[in-house]
Amino acid sequence: MLSRVPPPLRASTLLACSRNAVAAPGKRSIGARMASTSSSEATASFLTSRATLASATAFTVGTIAWYTHLYGTLPFVGEISANSPAEEGLHPPKYPWSHSGFFDTFDHASIRRGYQVYKEVCAACHSLDRIAWRNLVGVSHTATEVKALAEEHEYPDGPNDQGEMFQRPGKLSDYLPAPYPNEEAARASNGGALPPDLSLIIKARHGGCDYVFSLLTGYVDPPAGVEIREGLNYNPYFPGGAIAMARVLFDGLVEYDDGTPGTTSQYAKDVVTFLNWAAEPEHDERKKIGLQATILMSSLVLLSLYAKRFKWTPLKSRKIVYNPPKPKQH
Ligand code: HEC
């Protein structure tokens, strides 16, 4: 005869069993029931306790503070700004850059033309500190071409046997020369404004390529009622609208070797592609390795899913049957 229906087996019951095993070996089922009741009470009191409430609040406030500190704004919450949208700068349109897709590399012919624009126009005021001559080798020019380009500039070196510094022609290991010896000289020549180093400008500005392209091609006459101070120029894409850099690109300014028509927008597109390469020289390699890693990892995932199913098949598909012993015939 069956004496009692055993209590439903749960994780808490199991735990309680082992805990109560020593204390009350005789009262297994009662101990188990009581333990399971008290554990759910403990959960309830944990959820309603002041400490939990306080720590959840602290966590929420901390997360919001950390997010606003990091990004300056909160998602889904409108911003109140003292500036009008015009003062923030006109938002640049999105352009279809030939290198913006997942599988796209830089247009290297464009980098080469862009270097020419940088050299003939921008290098008069802007430095490109992080790029050495050797970086151009195999990207936009051959080693021989880059050596010739480097030798056009003189670099200080030394000391020599007499202990004096001397000038020597540039080498592949030298960095691109800066137009001004220091910030003060740069400011003095540009009406107090500092032409920023262009090495990372594409990464350093909101809108990246689109912004710099729009800035270079966006010079227009100021609209009625907008006063631009002497020495500044109106450009709707520049935050505030008044920029110290005048329009620098004009049709026919640079003559390309490869016969590409020399228009303002062509120059801007090429120099922006060049500056994007300068900011991300690893770009092409990064996308290639990324693609390889994705292919490799996803095939490994598929393989391990298959191996897992293969190994688990006997366990998942087996059937355990209990055959009670046949009552003995006396
Ligand atoms: C005659 C000197 C001069 C030349 C040439 C020149 N710039 Fe500038 N550029 C400046 C000055 C000065 C500023 C700083 C403007 C300011 O802060 O108001 C500047 C600022 C910039 C900025 C930063 C704008 C921002 O958002 O802060 C970019 C990008 C830029 N120039 C790109 C170029 C490119 C590309 C070329 C070549 C096609 C070029 N510049 C040629 C003087 C020049």
CA atoms within 13 A on the CB side of 161: 0
Distance 195 CA to ligand 1 centre (A): 5
Per-residue model confidence (pLDDT) at position 45: 82
- Percent of the chain residues topping a pLDDT of 90: 75
pLDDT at 208 exceeding the cut of 80: yes
Torsion 141-142-143-145 (CA) sign: negative
Stretch 252-274: mean pLDDT, rounded? 97
Backbone angles phi, psi at 266, to 5 degrees: -65, -45
273-308 pLDDT per residue, tens: 999 999 999 999 999 999 999 999 999 999 999 999
Cis amide leading into 222 (omega within 30): no
pLDDT at 70: 85
Tokens in use for 288? Answer: 């290639």
What is the structure's pLDDT at 74?
A: 79
Higher-pLDDT residue of 22, 306? 306
Q: What is the pLDDT of residue 12?
A: 45
Chain segment 65-121, per-residue pLDDT in tens: 999 888 877 777 776 666 666 677 899 999 999 999 999 999 999 999 999 999 999
Q: How far is the CA of 93 from the centre of ligand 1 (A)?
A: 20
- CA–chain centroid gap for 278, Å, is 16
pLDDT over 50 (residue 1): no
Give a three-class secondary structure readout of 125-188: CCCCCCCEHHHHECCCECHHHHHHHHHCCEEEECCCCCCCCEEEECCCCCECCCCCCCHHHHHH
The identity of residue 37, as a single letter, is T
Residue 61's pLDDT is 95
How does pLDDT run across 141-163, given as a tens digit for each residue?
Answer: 999 999 999 999 999 999 999 99
Residue 38 — very low, low, confident or very high, per pLDDT cuts 50/70/90? low
CA–CA dist 228, 178 (Å, integer): 30
- Mean pLDDT for 245-265 is 96
Best residue among 126, 176, 237, 265 to mutate for probing ligand 1, ranked by most atoms within 8 Å of CB: 126
* Interval between CA 222 and ligand 1 midpoint (Å): 19
Where are the strands (E) in the chain, listed by range? 154-157, 166-169, 233-234, 242-243
pLDDT (average), residues 13-38: 45
User: Is 283 assigned to a binding site?
Assistant: no
Pairwise CA distance, residues 278 & 192, whole Å: 26
Q: What is the mean pLDDT of the chain?
A: 88
Distance CA 149, CA 141 (A): 10
Atom of ligand 1 nearest to the CA of 191: 12
Closest approach atom of ligand 1 to CA 268: 38
Q: In this model, does residue 125 exceed pLDDT 90?
A: yes
Region of 232 (left: φ > 0; alpha: ψ -120 to 50; beta: rest) is: beta
Structure tokens at 296: 């490799």
